[in-house]
């Protein structure tokens, strides 16, 4: 199918017929408005090619409705994701006849898809050298999330790398503030990772947060790569999908893109209204994000396990035209939660811990080791408490945070 099928949940206002409401969504998002138009007549009847259609309407036990709307592919400007969103996720959220409406999913056809990730899971694993071990990547967010200067940030990165992890990243609110200028930080962290590599032999990724205005992000990313960055990070919802797309398509930016989703709760959290994570995740894959925060099953952020599992399946499922995205499980994780994450999400996952590493009683290196030990235990099928009897770093983490 060349057209785009969008699935919505909606609740009509009292007294509004459900079929009328579903059609009102279709009309508002395609060729119509609230009344008939003199500009649509026999001579301009060709515009009806863009009318789209309501394909399905099902009443749900909670009194809401599920509907699928088919948008003709010609209504989209290929590759223009802001325009896609104005069609599938635009005015409809404010329609007065609706109590609530939520975009649940999209079937984005190949002819409308973007270039996709340059690296994907296999490409990232290759850089780090984990392609044969079949374990999750272990990552950390440097904490405190803001405030450290470049020298101290690099020291934390060095200590984390000594523990053997795969990924270090900036937090979503750290960009290029005066207390920690981006290029000073990048240079110091990459130097620290080189020193750690001399000791461990292992290449660690550092996702430097290049989130900035649309007129500056590509230039900033180019400069970051020239200065030695081996991964870039973007806050997709604050910067926009175009930011990812611009970086993924820019010649010369040959490093993976880590995608954070800060602000997503404003869209995803209300189960009846807004935009579910699924379409956001699919658009990130299409735009070229290599790894993406999709939520955890046991962490602090209130994600729903079933949705995280299904979203991860969608962004990792094989497609001939888009590489799979590495799903990132993060937010309140610590070694005691690793077994639950692996049991539900598998091993093709990035498990990130900020507080759960830098809050370890013996410091960052021990915290990193404890996360890796917890992953080893889970993969071997050994309970963390049992594994901890011969792994002191894991024992100290479990003593502080427990194993649930």
Judged by CB under 5 A, the chain residues 166 through 185 that form the site for Mg ion are: 171-172
The answer to whether residue 145 is catalytic is no
In this chain, which stretch among 165-173, 320-328, 377-385, 388-396 interacts with Mg ion, using CB under 5 A?
165-173
The residues near 232 (Cβ < 8 Å, ≥ 6 apart) are 207, 208, 210, 221, 224, 225, 247, 253, 255, 256, 257, 258
Q: How many residues does the structure list for the chain?
A: 404
In this chain, which stretch among 3-11, 89-97, 330-338, 371-379 interacts with ligand CAP, using CB under 6 A?
330-338
Q: Is 355 in the site for ligand CAP (CB under 6 A)?
A: yes
Count CB atoms within 10 A of the CB of residue 63: 9
Q: Is 141 in the site for ligand CAP (CB under 6 A)?
A: yes
Query: Which entry of Mg ion, ligand CAP, none binds 310, CB below 5 to 8 A by partner kind?
Result: none
Query: Which entry of ligand CAP, Mg ion, none binds 316, CB below 5 to 8 A by partner kind?
Result: none
Of 137, 260, 337, 360, which is the active-site residue?
A: 260
Complex with ligand CAP: residue 166 or 172, whichever CB lies closer: 172
Sheet of 274-275, strand order: 53-59, 65-71, 4-12, 98-107, 274-275
Complex with ligand CAP: residue 3 or 166, whichever CB lies closer: 166
Q: Which residue of this chain has its Cβ atom nearest to ligand CAP in the complex?
A: 354
The answer to whether residue 260 is catalytic is yes
Contact (Cβ atoms closer than 8 angstroms) between residue 335 and residue 401:
yes
Of 68, 137, 143, 391, which is the active-site residue?
A: 143
Judged by CB under 6 A, the chain residues 298 through 327 that form the site for ligand CAP are: 300-301, 303
Q: Is 207 in the site for ligand CAP (CB under 6 A)?
A: no
Complex with ligand CAP: residue 102 or 337, whichever CB lies closer: 337
Q: Which residue of this chain has its Cβ atom nearest to Mg ion in the complex?
A: 171
Query: Which entry of Mg ion, ligand CAP, none binds 332, CB below 5 to 8 A by partner kind?
Result: ligand CAP
Contact (Cβ atoms closer than 8 angstroms) between residue 137 and residue 122:
no
Binding site for Mg ion (CB under 5 A): 171-172
Binding site for ligand CAP (CB under 6 A): 141, 143, 145, 171-172, 261, 293, 295, 300-301, 303, 330-333, 353-356
Task: Indicate which residues carry an active-site annotation.
Answer: 143, 260
């Amino acid at each position: 199918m060349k057209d785009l099928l969008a699935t919505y949940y909606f609740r009509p206002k009292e007294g509004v017929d459900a079929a009328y409401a579903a059609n009102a969504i279709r009309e508002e998002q395609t060729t119509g408005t609230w009344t008939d138009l003199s500009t649509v007549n026999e001579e301009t009847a060709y515009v009806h090619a863009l009318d789209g259609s309501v394909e399905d309407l099902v009443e749900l036990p909670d009194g809401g409705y599920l509907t699928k709307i088919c948008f003709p592919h010609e209504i989209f400007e290929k590759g223009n994701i802001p325009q896609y969103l104005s069609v599938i996720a635009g005015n409809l959220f404010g329609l007065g006849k609706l109590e609530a409406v939520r975009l649940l999913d999209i079937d984005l056809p190949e002819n409308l898809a973007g270039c996709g990730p340059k690296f994907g899971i296999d490409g990232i694993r290759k850089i780090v050298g984990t392609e044969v071990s079949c374990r999750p990547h272990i990552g950390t967010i440097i904490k405190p999330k803001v405030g450290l200067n470049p020298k101290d940030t690099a020291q934390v990165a060095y200590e984390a790398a000594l523990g053997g992890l795969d990924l270090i990243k900036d937090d979503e609110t750290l960009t290029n503030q005066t207390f920690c200028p981006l290029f000073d930080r990048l240079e110091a962290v990459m130097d620290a990772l080189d020193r750690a590599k001399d000791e461990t032999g292992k290449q660690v990724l550092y996702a430097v947060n290049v989130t900035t205005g649309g007129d500056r992000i590509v230039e900033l990313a180019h400069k970051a790569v020239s200065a030695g960055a081996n991964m870039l990070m973007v806050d997709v919802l604050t910067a926009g999908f175009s930011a990812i797309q611009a970086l993924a398509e820019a010649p010369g930016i040959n490093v993976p893109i880590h995608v954070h989703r800060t602000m997503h709760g404003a869209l995803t959290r209300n189960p009846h209204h807004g935009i579910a994570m699924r379409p956001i995740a699919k658009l990130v894959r299409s735009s070229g994000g290599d790894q993406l925060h999709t939520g955890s099953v046991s962490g602090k952020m209130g994600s729903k396990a079933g949705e995280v599992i299904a979203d991860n399946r969608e962004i990792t499922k094989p497609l001939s035209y888009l590489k799979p995205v590495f799903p990132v499980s993060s937010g309140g994780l610590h070694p005691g939660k690793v077994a639950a994450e692996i049991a539900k999400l598998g091993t093709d996952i990035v498990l990130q811990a900020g507080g759960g590493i830098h809050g370890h009683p013996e410091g960052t290196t021990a915290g990193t080791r404890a996360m890796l030990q917890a992953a080893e235990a889970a993969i071997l099928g050994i309970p963390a408490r049992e594994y901890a009897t011969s792994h002191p770093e894991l024992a100290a983490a479990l003593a502080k945070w427990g194993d649930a």
